[in-house]
Amino acid sequence: MNKPDLTPVAFERITAVLNDHKVKYVVIGGLAALLQGVPLPRTADIDITPASDPANKKRLGAALHDLGGKLRAPGLDEPMEIALDERTFTGITTMTFVTRFGPFDISFVPDGTTGYDDLAQNAHVLERGGVKIPVASLEDITRSKRAAGREKDAAHLTILVKHLRSEKEQE
């Protein structure tokens, strides 16, 4: 399988399609931190938390269709096409896709949060390449990574905490 080129433009294109479909979402994880100036290693995907109401799930499905989204799952050699409508996301907490602009992961309730409404409260809207991108606050990203307790997040947590301390000292 050919892996898509993951230039920063890919993230802008994915968020532009989400915005075009009026999907309510917040970018989370490593990309959200990178966009806010945290010196983390480059991330290979975009992670979002979308609102979980049926109308938003329908818009999300339409956006994924336009992105050429295919489901990635452990044990599959190739991503597979699935129906992309509001029913796709019923009873699901996380899903991973590949799109023509790169890997795209969805987490309706990231660890340490209660989902979109929780994260949207403190989210910031950044603009890159003319695209408005809602991103989770660094405090919320830190809270989620801490709650996840994954080994791969430990190094990121150290950098995030140091960055947050530095920001507070500069205030």
Task: Give residue-wise pLDDT tens across range 84-141.
Answer: 999 999 999 999 999 999 999 999 999 999 999 999 999 999 999 899 999 999 999 9
Q: What is the number of domains present in the chain?
A: 1
Is 2 inside a domain boundary? no
Residue at 95 is within a domain: yes
Structural domain boundaries enclosing 56: 8-170
Which pLDDT value is given to residue 166?
84
Residue 121 lies in a domain: yes
The percentage of the chain sitting over the pLDDT mark of 70, rounded to a whole number, equals 95
- Does 1 map to a domain? no
List the beta bridge partners of residue 107: 94
Report pTM: 0.90
* C-alpha to C-alpha distances, 52 to 17, 101, 110, 153, nearest whole angstrom: 18, 24, 13, 26
Task: Over range 42-67, report the average pLDDT.
Answer: 95
Question: What is residue 154's three-state secondary structure?
Answer: helix
Number of other residues whose CB lies within 10 A of the CB of residue 31: 25
